[in-house]
Amino acid sequence: MRRVATVWRMSVRIGFLRAVNLGRRRVAMSRLAAVCEGLGYSDVWTFVNSGNVVFDAIGRRASVEAAMERALEEELGFECTTFVRTAQQLTATLDARPFTLAPGGTHFVTFLKKAPGATVAQRLEGLSNDFDTLIVRGADVHWRMRGKSTDSRLGSRDWETILGPLSSTSRNVTMLTRLVTKIDAAERPRGRPRLSRG
């Protein structure tokens, strides 16, 4: 019973949309918030313009992702793969810090639908080179670049060769840290415990 309660309890979630506001795949953040509210999610707000939405919801991650994807495709007219994490999960990911970032370096987190098996994880980490380093931690991949992300030697085809299409989305850790800070500030007046940052 305890496990079921943990899975289904109301909690702060963050939805990360794949490849929006690129080319013709445009979505206003107000429209994204409205879709989430239409699904019955509460305390909805968005963060920057890259498809990041915060909300309170009940349910398993896969169920929330599927509901959002159906509603977004119906509203927007194009596929909108979504990756959901709880605020606590995102905080734990940021706290992991699997490597040191040198000055001028870049750290992304790439979100997957589920933790890959050992063979797939090994293949992902095998994409590492003298500029890019990948470390798999559960359903998240920490991606360090020794410089700007625009200079990365890894492209979408590298990821898709291993994971398949529409299988991941990436965010800069600098942005994610700002997002967690804002979530923490929003939750404190509601009496919720502060998100741990080690």
Q: How many domains does the chain have?
A: 2
With contact defined as beta carbons under 8 Å apart, do 95 and 196 qualify? yes
CATH number where 46 lies: 3.30.70.1280
> What would the two tokens of residue 104 be?
């001028």
**Residues 120, 75 within the same domain:** no
pLDDT of residue 198: 46
**Which of 59, 86, 113 corresponds to the end of one domain?**
86
**Residues 104, 167 within the same domain:** yes
Picking from 82, 56, 88, 49, the residue whose alpha carbon sits closest to that of residue 67 is 82
**Residues 79, 54 within the same domain:** yes
Q: Taking the chain (198 residues) in consecutive chunks of 10 residues, what is each chunk's mean pLDDT?
A: 54 96 90 98 96 96 97 95 97 94 96 98 98 98 98 96 96 98 85 58
pLDDT of residue 195: 61
> What would the two tokens of residue 158 be?
């590298």
pLDDT of residue 196: 52
Range of the domain at 73: 2-86
**Residues 59, 101 within the same domain:** no
Q: What are phi and psi of 89, to 5 degrees?
A: -65, -45
With contact defined as beta carbons under 8 Å apart, do 20 and 26 qualify? yes
**Residues 113, 137 within the same domain:** yes
pLDDT of residue 6: 45
**Which of 57, 86, 115 corresponds to the end of one domain?**
86
CA neighbours closer than 13 Å in the CB half-sphere of residue 55: 25
**Residues 58, 101 within the same domain:** no
**Residues 55, 121 within the same domain:** no
pLDDT of residue 69: 98
